[in-house]
Amino acid sequence: MSRRTIALIIGLLIVAVAVSTALMITYPSSYESPHSANSDSEMFTLELEDAFHLTGAVETDGEEFIEYEAVLTEDGERYEYYTTDDMVRETYREEPDGELYRMYRYADEKDAESYQQRIETTYESRTIVDEAQEGDEIRFLVIEEDPDEFHGTIDTTETMLLNGIRTLPTYERVASDDSASVYEPQEGWYNTSGELSKYRITDASGHVTVAPETYSVESADVSVQYMAVSTYLDYLWGTEEVQSIQTTIDVADDPTVTEPEWVDEIRDEQ
């Protein structure tokens, strides 16, 4: 074999090694799929009993995104609390077929005006019985005559809480017995076919405790650091912002309701 041929082969090997090394540095060797890619039979759910006490919250970068509480007692008394950074909503019903009482507080005047317009044009079953300025917030007291509305809002918020634990990480089962299974979130590189595409999860901690056969969540406290990056270089260079996300869920079977003080104000207006 001539020296020229040997030199050519060595040169090609050097190029191949360089390319392979660059690819190893640039792209992860494998990707994980998030829990949301699981089959429906292995997906975390929330299967609430006829009586329950559900609490949950989602925080992003240490700031509250949503906080939620829903209670249903055995005799049909119901209460719901939902808040974001600029709105608070409470809902109460004393009896299964009774009227639904609502209280809204808005920090932004435009949001308050928008809600008032929706009452007048969209929510025909709702009536504003009182509007008042309380400090920097505008408060509405509302009567709702739709008996199915309470469950509708619970279903919507359930989905938001479940998405907080299902969308980003995958999980490893770390304990299991006849009463419960415990899962922990996993760090790694992820690839999805949806809007998130490729991303990196670090500082994953916490747990999800579920019923072993139904995967219904009994409690969860999951924290992750999320970065939308495709390569190691993006990750090392910090070209994208890191977002911390914490989701908590707790389901208890000892529901009790304390009637909100504003309920009497609605009764007085009727």
Structure confidence by residue, pLDDT tens digits, 49-72: 889 999 999 999 989 899 999 999
How much is the pLDDT for 24? 40
Residue 64 lies in a domain: yes
How much is the pLDDT for 162? 92
* Overall pTM > 0.85: no
Residue 265 lies in a domain: no
Phi–psi pair at 31, nearest 5 degrees: -125, 150
CA dist 159 to 129, 145, 152, 164, Å?
A: 31, 24, 11, 9
How much is the pLDDT for 268? 84
Residue 258 lies in a domain: no
Q: How far apart are CA 221 and CA 172, in angstroms?
A: 15
Structural domain that includes position 233: 35-252
Structure confidence by residue, pLDDT tens digits, 224-260: 998 877 555 565 555 567 889 999 999 998 899 989 9
Average of per-residue pLDDT across 129-156 = 79
- Average pLDDT taken over every residue of the chain: 82
How much is the pLDDT for 16? 33
Q: At residue 92, does pLDDT exceed 70?
A: yes
How much is the pLDDT for 4? 46
Average of per-residue pLDDT across 41-50 = 88
Residue 118 lies in a domain: yes
Max mean pLDDT among 98-107, 122-131, 222-231 falls in 98-107
**Which conformational region is residue 206 in: left (phi greater than 0), alpha (psi within -120 to 50 degrees), or beta?**
left
- As a whole-number percent, the residues of the chain with pLDDT over 90 amount to 46
Q: At residue 99, does pLDDT exceed 90?
A: no
Residue 203 lies in a domain: yes
Q: Which residue has the tokens 């000892």?
A: 254
Average of per-residue pLDDT across 14-42 = 60
How much is the pLDDT for 66? 92
What band does 194 get if pLDDT is binned at 50, 70 and 90? low
Q: At residue 127, does pLDDT exceed 50?
A: yes
Residue 140 lies in a domain: yes
- Split into its structural domains, the chain has a count of 1
- As a whole-number percent, the residues of the chain with pLDDT over 70 amount to 80
DSSP per residue over 9-63, as a string?
Answer: HHHHHHHHHHHHHHHHHHS-S--B--GGGS-GGGS-B----SSEEEEEEEEETTE
Residue 4 lies in a domain: no
Q: At residue 25, does pLDDT exceed 60?
A: no
What band does 13 get if pLDDT is binned at 50, 70 and 90? very low
How much is the pLDDT for 180? 95
- Tell me how far the alpha carbon of residue 19 is from its chain's centroid: 41
CA dist 57 to 83, 97, 177, Å?
A: 9, 29, 27
How much is the pLDDT for 7? 40
How much is the pLDDT for 200? 85
Residue 84 lies in a domain: yes
Specify the range with the lowest mean pLDDT, choosing from 15-24, 33-42, 50-59: 15-24
